[in-house]
Amino acid sequence: MSLQGNGNNHNYRPNLNDENDSFLKFNDSEQYAQITGQNPTSIEQDGTVEFGAAEDERKKKLQEAIESENSSAYEDLDDFIYRQNKRRARTSGHRHHHHHISPSVLSPGRVRRKKSSSKKKHKHRHHHHRHHRKKRLRKWQKISLGIIIALISLILILIIAIALMYFAGQNALLDDGGLNINVPDFAETSDNGQYITYKGHKYKYNDRITNILCMGSDLDAEITRVSPAEDDYATGGQADSLFLASMNVDTGDINMVNISRETMTDVNVYTASGKAAGSRNEQICLAYAYGDGEETSCQNELVAVRRLFYNLPVNFYLSLNINGIGPINDSVGGVLVRSPETIAEFHEGETYNLHGSLAQSFVRARSHATVKGNNLRMERQKIYLESFAQNVFTKTRSNLGTPLDVYNTANTYITTNAGLNEVAYFSVTALRGGFNGLNIANVPGEVKEGKKYAEFYVDEEKFFELFLKLYYIKVE
């Protein structure tokens, strides 16, 4: 029986252990000769070799060699088919690394054989392609990205808006309108008050200070008769509380001067129809009455305060109706205070967290049993303002929009010529300075019992020294 071993027939396995299998057709006579040890020239041209029954050992070696070589060829062919199928499965739009196949592998009748040891297991190494595809965002990712971009845009707009308001507010607040300070007879001025000489020392006006008059108005106050001849009455209410707030724009320090509503000074008088009726020396709170309870009342009160402060530049005013105290108080989460006296619902030395009407009662209640009742109320107002301002500052550090929120809440209850620019400027400057609290001083003087009401008289020399300390710089 003749067995033909051909490289094209991969399913065929010769059995050299069969005594009847005496012939093997082998394609490579040189390889056969190398394995069997025979001379290649002794092998027939067609590769046919005859084996005898006694050549078992040689047949065994040849069987192992053929199996090893065929196994390697099968694996090469499997790898080639695997790569070809994978190449066809890929989309035509992608670029690939092409594998170059040896012609000897593709040629009929021959399979290139790899040298391998029969004791070692052949390992397939397939080349895996990594395609760099552009990742597409999912719908929720697109929505989230859009929200983030919108928030960042809003924050940038807010920052830019505050910056623009800040610089616009700075320009307005620092405009002194032409300095013209009028000092008492015991002091001297030069350059319209740019310099003041007092007790042998020279002082220069601090042009880095900006001032705003803050008022608490009460429209339910007693109506004041202006002129008996014309039978006109002032109906604008009264300024129950008066504070002149000053800020150093370089340091952010805020100073406030608490002006007693009972301070006796010259007040411009107007009829209810708006006609000027001269001036009178009376309580400074009544300046507010000679107006419409809004702009004209504020303007007349501002004139009276500037006159008291030697014509100090004060460009802005803010008047708060007492009905707005509760809502504004609650907009900062309430205010914690300790009462300095026993009055109304409050007891001396006890602490209260003020909300709503309780806040209004704390700053408005006044005892009429003593001539110093307003002075005691001013002390409570001072305590309240310091705690309120600290609350605003604390919240502003985590939310720059807090001052604007307070302003918007107060907007219904206030009359002012200051806009958001000035509010932004005050807020940012105070925040930048770290807010060291409100330094509140009282106009020095003495309260006396008048013919009808309590009257407060200013200590001129002490007040002028306070004036120099707050608004001037000692230069020599």
Using one digit for the tens of pLDDT, what is the confidence trace for 85-139?
656 555 544 444 444 444 443 444 444 444 444 444 444 454 555 555 556 666 6
In this prediction, residue 108 carries a pLDDT of 43
Higher-confidence residue of 226 and 379: namely 379
Higher-confidence residue of 425 and 26: namely 425
Average pLDDT over every residue of 146-157? 67
Using one digit for the tens of pLDDT, what is the confidence trace for 419-434?
777 776 776 776 676 6
Model pTM score: 0.63
Higher-confidence residue of 156 and 111: namely 156
Average pLDDT over every residue of 402-429? 79
Q: What is the domain partition of the chain in residue ranges? A: 2-90+100-106, 159-474
CATH of 159-474, one of 3.30.9.10, 3.40.50.720, 1.10.620.20, 3.40.630.190: 3.40.630.190
In this prediction, residue 219 carries a pLDDT of 74
Higher-confidence residue of 174 and 51: namely 174
Higher-confidence residue of 162 and 264: namely 264
Does residue 6 surpass a pLDDT of 60? no
Average pLDDT over every residue of 68-74? 56
In this prediction, residue 47 carries a pLDDT of 44
The region of weakest confidence among 19-23, 176-180, 264-268, 342-346 is: 19-23
The region of weakest confidence among 218-222, 318-322, 417-421 is: 218-222
Confidence bin at 438 (pLDDT 50/70/90)? confident
Higher-confidence residue of 249 and 148: namely 249
In this prediction, residue 20 carries a pLDDT of 45
In this prediction, residue 111 carries a pLDDT of 41
How far is the C-alpha of 89 from the C-alpha of 403, rounded, in Å?
Answer: 67
User: What percent of the chain clears pLDDT 90, i.e. is strictly above it?
Assistant: 34
Confidence bin at 377 (pLDDT 50/70/90)? very high
